[in-house]
Structure 1
Amino acid sequence: MKNTYTEIKIKVSVNDLEKIENIFYRLGVFQLSIEDPRDLFEKSYINFDTYFDEDEIFTEGRNVCIVKYYLSDKENPIEFLNILNQMICSEKINCKIETSEIFEEDWANNWKKYYHTFKINDKIVVKPEWENYNLKNGEILINIDPGMAFGTGTHETTKLCMQLIDKYMKKDSFVYDVGTGSGILAILSSKLGARKVVAIDLDKVSVSAAKYNVSLNNLSNIEVLEGNLLDKASEKGDLIVANIIAEVIVDLIPDIVKILDREGIFITSGIIESRVDLIKSKLSEYGLDIFDEVNENGWFAFAIKNK
C-alpha cells in the first residue's frame, strides 16, 4: 500500500509571510515549501520552470506567497489544521488554506523540483544529492538530502547560522549542534575543521536524516544522537550552535552556560524581531553577551560569548 501525505497549501499576502512562518515554527514545523513572487519578479537569475508552478504564481499575482507543508499518514491532519486555523485567527492573518491528498513518491518529486544547488557565500556551496556541481578552488561543498527534516540551507535562519559558523569556527573545535535537523550545520562545522561534532535532535526523523547526510559527505567526526543537550554533553563545547525557535532557546540558555567553554562561542538563530528582546534579556541574566548580530527578512542570528 502506498504511503500518502496531506498537502496543506496556504495562500497569503507577502506582508504576512513572516507571520505564517513563525506560526509553523511555534508548531515545531521547519520544513516548508515557499513560493515567493518577489523572487520571481525581482531576481533575474530565478528559473521560471524549475522554481515555480508558473500558472499558480501568475494567477495569484505579485503579492501572494504560496506556502506548502506535508503531513504524513501517521499524523492527524484534522487536529493539526484545527490548531493551525486557531493560531492564524489569533494573529488576524487573512489567508486561504487548501488541502489535498498525494502519494509519497509524488510529494518527493514535487518537493525536489524546488530545491537546487546554491551558495551561502563565496565559499560555501549547498548541493542536493540529486544534482551535479563542479567544485571550484577554495569552495566547500555540502551534499544534502533533508527529506522531512529542517535544514535545507535556504531559510534565512540556516543561512545566517552558516555565515556565522564560517566566520567564527576555529580549527580543532569541539562543536555541539542542538536541534540538528538535516545535519547541515554539523556538516559545515566538520568541513571547516572541527575536531569533533555532536549533533543532537529530539526528532527521530531528523536523527535519521542527519545520519544519512553525514554519510553522504563521507565524514567520520560527527556523532548524531537522539535526545536533548544536557543529557548528551560529554565535554565543554568550543562552539555551540542552535537553530531553533526563541522560546526553546530561552529554555536552553541555562544548559548552554554549563557546557560552553569559557572562551567558547554560542551561535543561535530562529529568532524573529519580536522575540529579540526576550533572548537578549535571558542571555544577560546568565552572563552571556552578544558580540555579533546579523539579520535578514525579519530573522535574527547572534554570536554570543561569556562576558
Structure 2
Amino acid sequence: MADFDWNHMRAFLATVEAGTLSGAARQIGLTQPTLSRQIAALEDELGLLLFERVGKRLQLTHAGRELAAHVREMGAAAHRIGLAASGQSSTIEGIVRITAIDLVAAYVLPPLLHRINMMAPGIVLEVIATNAIDDLMRREADIALRHMQPDQPDLIARRCPDSDVGLYAATKLLDAIGRPKSAEDIANMPIIGFPENQMLIDELAARGIPLREETIRWRCASVMINGELVRQGYGIGIMFREAAKDMTGIEELLPDMEPIKAPMWLVTHRELHTSRRIRLVYDALYEELSRRNVRGG
C-alpha cells in the first residue's frame, strides 16, 4: 500500500496501546464507533486481520504485531522530526520527576534517561524509586512507570512492551538443598515473596507449581531487596530476567517454563497536554522503552 491514511494508523496504534476500543477512543479523543470504523478501514486497505477479540480485550494477530512495530517506528520518527523542526529539544528547561519501582529505577531507567539527557540537556531528570502508585495524583511525580494500568480518569497511560519474569535461586542454595527437577519440587522449597502474594500464587499455579502461603518464608515489597535475598541464598524468588542476566551466583529454575509477563505502563497526568518538557520526556521514554524491547533489552 503506497498511500495510507495516517489517522487509521494512529487509531490502530492507540488500540494496541490501550488494549480496548473504548480506552483507545478516550486516548485520542474519538468516539468508539469512529475508531472502530478506522480500524476496519485499515484492515480492508491492507487485506489483513489485525485484532482478535479475547473476552473484553483485543489481541493482536501475527500480522497486527508486525504492523505495530513499524507504526511505532513511524510515530517515533515523526516525533523526532517535530523536535528538530521546532528546535524545542535544546530550549525546553526544567525538572521532570520520574517514579518507578526500585529495580526499574536501578536497571532500566539509567541508560534511557542518559539518551534523553543528550537530546534535551536543559531538562533535569529526577528519579524517585518507590512502589507507591498514588504519587502522580499527589503531584509528587510527573511521570511514572508502573506494572498496573491506572484507573484514575485524570491519568494518561500507554502500555509499553512487557518484561519477562522467571524463578531464580542462588547456586550455593541449590548446591545445599538440591536442584528441582520438576515444578512440584519447587513448591516445597523456601520461597521469597511479597506482602500480597495471591497474584504470584496464581501465576505459578498456572505453570504447575502449587505454591502455598506457608512456604513463603520471606516477604518484602521491594523487588530489589527480594532479588538480594535470592542472591544471598535465602530462598527462591521471582526476578526480572533483564536484571538477573547481569548477576553472578544465581541460576534460573525451569528455564523452559513459560515466563511470567510483567506489564509496563507509562503513566502521566493530563498536564502532559500543557507542559512541553513533560511531553518531551514522556514521548522519548516511550520510544526508548519500545526500542529497548526490539533490541532485546
Structure 1 and Structure 2 fold alike (TM over 0.5): no
Higher share of residues assigned helix: 2
Bigger-Rg structure (1/2): 2
How high is the TM-score relative to the length of structure 2? 0.27
| Bigger relative CO (Cα 8 Å, ≥ 6 apart) | 2
Higher share of residues assigned strand: 1
How high is the TM-score relative to the length of structure 1? 0.26
